[in-house]
Structure 1
Amino acid sequence: MTTLKSTLKEDLTEAIRARDELRSSTLRLTLAAITKEEVAGKQARELSDDEVQKVIAKEAKKRREAAEAFEQGGRAAQAEREKAEGAILDAYLPQQLGDDELKQIVAQAVEEAKAAGAEGPRAMGAVMKIVNPKVAGRAEGGRVAAVVKQLLAG
């Protein structure tokens, strides 16, 4: 079984051979972020695939935010490059949940929280504890929190 990190390294080698500058630079930066995460802390360690996915998700989010900032600043060329880099990284992440699927999962969690005695806007923490493990890596925290607030309020 190949790890996600080794897949990234193999894809980097292919991108370099194909002289795909955008893909190779994106994968290099991502592998550097993974290495930085591995050596952070008191002792160097090997990251699991889940941890590598979190690093990739963080890098993809940075690209989306940078693209928005470039668009607002009127720098369309840089915004397009950031979007393209984000698309490359998204290919290594699990399929994101659609709005309907997310609402369904959150609705179930709200029912579970109500059964446990938590109700109203104060139940947000209880619902998030139930939802987060179910959607880990497949939906951003802000998106999940917005749906939880919406369902708890309505």
Structure 2
Amino acid sequence: MPLKDQITEDMKTAMRAKDSARLLTIRGLLAALKQKEVDERITLDDAAVIAIVDKLIKQRKDSISQFSAAGRTDLVDKETAELSVLEGYLPQRLGADEIAAEVAKIVAEVGASGPGDMGKVMGVVKTRLAGKADMSLVSAAVKNALAK
């Protein structure tokens, strides 16, 4: 079953269970998916859905850090609940060791040698590891590999 269909089914389940917090998060996700489809006149595949979920997760993490700094624990709790719902739609993430191995392989393939080649390496890395790894960890691994 495509991921978008799974999200729609989860929305129906949340409606039946009267789980308003989960329902609100899923509706927001579906609205973001629909907006992307309408704006670009495309039908989203699983990779595009995962990219949007990643974007929403990043927004939630940023909000959590901002609300924590402001001492708004009520909003931190709300954003954390939304974050856990969204993370349920991501595939299993690669660990730090697996990311480092992939990055090392890509650096060798591209022939990169130094921090100046980071853009070239990141272009390839983003296409291969999109949705499979946290891109902040990937970026750190690329910097580390090119510093050697």
TM-score, normalised with respect to structure 2: 0.91
Cα 1:22–1:143 change in 2 (3 A) is same
The answer on 1:55 being equivalent to 2:37 is no
Tell me the alpha carbon deviations over residues 81-140 of structure 1, each in whole angstroms, 9 at most, x when there is no partner: 1111111111111112111111111112222233xxx31112212322332222111223
1:38 alignment counterpart: 37
Point out where structure 2 has 5 or more consecutive residues left out of the alignment: none
Shift of 1:20: 0.8
Distance 2:61 2:71 in 1: 15
Distance 2:70 2:28 in 1: 24
The answer on 1:7 being equivalent to 2:1 is no
Q: What's the Cα RMSD here? A: 1.5
Point out where structure 1 has 5 or more consecutive residues left out of the alignment: none
**Aligned with residue 94 of structure 1, among 88, 91, 96:** 91
Larger deviation: 93-102 or 24-33? 93-102
Mapped contact 1:113–1:119 kept (Cα < 8 A): no
Mapped contact 2:22–2:82 kept (Cα < 8 A): yes
The answer on 1:82 being equivalent to 2:76 is no
Which amino acid letter does the alignment assign opposite residue 52 of structure 2?
V
Tell me the alpha carbon deviations over residues 14-71 of structure 1, each in whole angstroms, 9 at most, x when there is no partner: 1111111111000011001111111114xx3321221111111111211111111111
Mapped contact 1:3–1:49 kept (Cα < 8 A): yes
Identity %: 39
* Structure with higher helix content: 2
Structure with max Cα Rg: 1
Mapped contact 2:57–2:83 kept (Cα < 8 A): yes
Mapped contact 1:70–1:78 kept (Cα < 8 A): yes
Distance 2:104 2:73 in 1: 39
Mapped contact 1:26–1:85 kept (Cα < 8 A): yes
Which amino acid letter does the alignment assign opposite residue 72 of structure 2?
R
Greater than 6 Å deviation, 4+ residue runs = none
Cα 1:151–1:62 change in 2 (3 A) is same
Mapped contact 1:67–1:83 kept (Cα < 8 A): yes
**Larger relative contact order (CA 8 Å, sep ≥ 6):** 2
Shift of 1:76: 1.2
Q: How many residues align?
A: 148
**Aligned with residue 107 of structure 1, among 92, 104, 107:** 104
